[in-house]
Structure 1
C-alpha cells in the first residue's frame, strides 16, 4: 500500500503533533474533539472524539448530534480526479456498540448540497458499513456493503485507505476501500458523486443523526483517529 500510495501527489497530511491545523473546521461542542497522547504508540499524538447523548447540539451545524472535523477546501474532491485518502481509527477497549442506529465516522460530503453523504463509513452494531450515493437519485444508496467485524478491532489501530474517483454519471466512477491493506469494498460504473458537484470535501469524527429522537443502546461515544493524508493523481 505504501509503495502504491507513493505514486500519488500529497495534497494534505497531519499527524496532530501541533494540534488541529488552523485550516480544519470544527463542528463540536467544547471538549468534544481534543488532541491527546496516542493510546497505543508512545510519542505519537491522536485525535480523541467524544460526545454524549445529553449534550446540547442546537448550536452545532443543523443541530444534529455530531463532533466532526471538516478538512480544508484545498483538498476538496472534483469529479474525474483520482484521490487517495488514508487515515486510521482506534476503538477503545470496552466500547459499547449500538445495534439500534449507526454512527458515521468518516465521510465524503457533497459540497453545499443537502442529503446523505456521497461516501460514508459507519459503525452499526458490531459491524462497519460503507455506502455511496450519487447521480440524479441521491435518496437511494447506489452501492454499499456491511464489513465484518468492528468488535475484533477493540484496542488496536485500524488503517484505512479510500481510493475515490467521483463521477455523477457512473461511467468513470470508482470507489475502493482497504482495511489494514486488504480490499474490503469496490464499486465501479455506478454514480458516486452528486450532480455537478466539484467541491465535495472530507469529514471525520462522529455523526449520529438519529440520537435525539430514536432508541439507542449508548449514551456516550468515544473514538480515536490517527494520522490523515489526502493525495491525488
Structure 2
C-alpha cells in the first residue's frame, strides 16, 4: 500500500462504512434509487494551534491599563479556505498524529496544498482570533502551531441532470462536513402524488376525507374578487364534477340489498 509522507490524522472510517452512511442519507431523503458512486479522498491541510487572549480596562485617573479578562483555547485554520475550525482542533491529539498516510487501494487521493506558510498562518490566526474574542490583535498570542492533514471522503452525486452535489465526510470521525449532509429532500413527483391520491380514493372513507380537506384548501386558495364574487365556487363545482367522474373507476359504491 503506497504511503504519503506527511503529518495527518488516520483514516478510521473505511470505504464500506462511508458508502453505507451515504446510502442511508440518500434513502432518508427519498433518493434511494441513486447508486452511490466511487469516492475520492481529499487530504486537507489545517494549521492547529493554541492561543491566549485578554481584554483590558483603563483606569480613569491613572490611565493605567489592567487585564480585565483572559481566555485560553485551541483552534485550527483551514489552510485552503482560510477559515477557523474548532471542530478539527478538538480531534487533533499530538499523540494520534501519523507521520504518513496509507493510500487505500483503488481510491484516488488528492493532496491539497496550503495557501500560506506556517509564519503567515500565525498572523492570519492572530487576526481571526482577535475578531472572534473581540480584543485587539496585540492581545492575542498564538503558540504551538503545527500543520496536520485531515482525510475527507468526497462523493460527487448527480441527483438529476441539473443538480449535482458534493458530499464530504471526515475520514477520521465519520461526520459530514458541516451540520448536515447537504442532501436535499426529494418530495413526491406529480405522478407519485396522483397514484397515492387515487389509491386513497379506493375506499369510501378515503374519498370522504380527501374531499373534506381538499374543499377547505380550495376555499382559502380561490378568494372572491369584485369582478367575480363567485369565482372560487364555480371552480370548486367544476373540479368536484371532474374528480367525481374520475373516482367512479376507483370507488366501489354499495349496492342495494
TM-score (norm 2): 0.23
Q: Rg: which structure is higher?
A: 2
Higher relative contact order (CA 8 A, sep 6+): 1
**Greater helix fraction, Structure 1 or Structure 2:** 2
- Specify which structure has the higher proportion of strand: 1
